[in-house]
Amino acid sequence: MAKLTISDAARVAGVARSTLHRAIRAGRLSVDPDGYVDTAELLRAGYTLQRSTPQQRVVALQDATPRSSSAQQIATSAVSQGEMLLQQERDLLRLERDLLRRELEAAHMREQAALEREQAAREREALLLHMLEQVQQQNQRLLEAPRPAPAPPGSAAVPVPSAPRGDLRRRIVALLWEHPDGLSPGQTRHMLGIDKNLGATMKHMVRDGLLRRIATGVYTAREAGAGE
């Protein structure tokens, strides 16, 4: 970017030098160690750079015929200043072009990120729907699974329901099939020869449809009590 003196920077920005000095003291505008101001700093501080037409001044100076060596020096200085202003104009245009390019790239990146988030949300939704369908199908199969008929009186065969989970539940159901009048958790634990308190387990089995509570603290197998 172009380096300008405070005076040139004030002229290009269209403000007074005192305005730039106040901005420098306030920290809104920075200068390099030599006291020059970069045009990029002016833009960052919010100033709008004024575009001039140095081409006309350069042509007029080139067409004029100097009458003295002093006039030639003035003309040469004017031409150099015009060339510097042209360079500043080019730098300004390049800066504006770069800023526009960066803004366009940032907008494109934001749009791409939004599309990726939307795609990820759709994929999560499809996965959750698929999992829900699988759970519903599994529950439907469990509901439609055939259950064994109650054993006739005096039959030695003890039917075991197809749904109990775990060996302990199967043993509880099998024992209650042998005692259709029902057993308490304490009686069940004693007859199975285990130390675990079966109260909570048998309550959960009632909730799962494996047992039926026929009285306070007395349970029977679901199929055994269905005909009562």
DSSP calls for 108-169: HHHHHHHHHHHHHHHHHHHHHHHHHHHHHHHHHHHHHS--PPPPPTT-------S---SHHH
Residue 122 lies in a domain: no
100 and 181 co-located in one domain: no
97 and 181 co-located in one domain: no
90 and 188 co-located in one domain: no
pTM above 0.75, yes or no: no
Please give the Cα distance from 127 to 133 (Å, whole number). 10
83 and 175 co-located in one domain: no
Provide the pairing of β-strand 218-221 with 37-38.
unpaired
11 and 104 co-located in one domain: yes
| Chain position carrying tokens 């259950």 | 147
Please give the Cα distance from 202 to 193 (Å, whole number). 16
Banded model confidence at residue 163, pLDDT cuts 50, 70, 90: very low
Residue 212 pairs in a beta bridge with: 220
DSSP state of 53: -
Banded model confidence at residue 39, pLDDT cuts 50, 70, 90: confident
Residues present in the chain in total: 228
174 and 95 co-located in one domain: no
pLDDT value at position 105? 92
> For residue 64, what is the enclosing H or E element?
none
9 and 98 co-located in one domain: yes
Range of the domain at 179: 167-226
Out of 111, 133, 156, pick the residue that ends a domain: 111
172 and 105 co-located in one domain: no
Residue 215 pairs in a beta bridge with: 218
Structure tokens at 72: 């030639």
12 and 107 co-located in one domain: yes
Please give the Cα distance from 30 to 13 (Å, whole number). 15
Task: Give mean pLDDT, residues 125-153.
Answer: 77
Residue 118 lies in a domain: no
101 and 183 co-located in one domain: no
- Number of folded domains that form the chain: 2
Residue 39 lies in a domain: yes
Banded model confidence at residue 115, pLDDT cuts 50, 70, 90: very high
Please give the Cα distance from 191 to 187 (Å, whole number). 6
pLDDT of 48 higher than 90: no
Cβ pair 173, 161 in contact under 8 A: yes
103 and 173 co-located in one domain: no
Residue 135 lies in a domain: no
Please give the Cα distance from 127 to 151 (Å, whole number). 45
Q: What percent of the chain has pLDDT over 90?
A: 30
Task: Give mean pLDDT, residues 179-198.
Answer: 90
Please give the Cα distance from 90 to 167 (Å, whole number). 86
The CATH number of the domain where 178 resides is what?
1.10.10.10
Please give the Cα distance from 80 to 65 (Å, whole number). 17
178 and 95 co-located in one domain: no
> For residue 68, what is the enclosing H or E element?
none
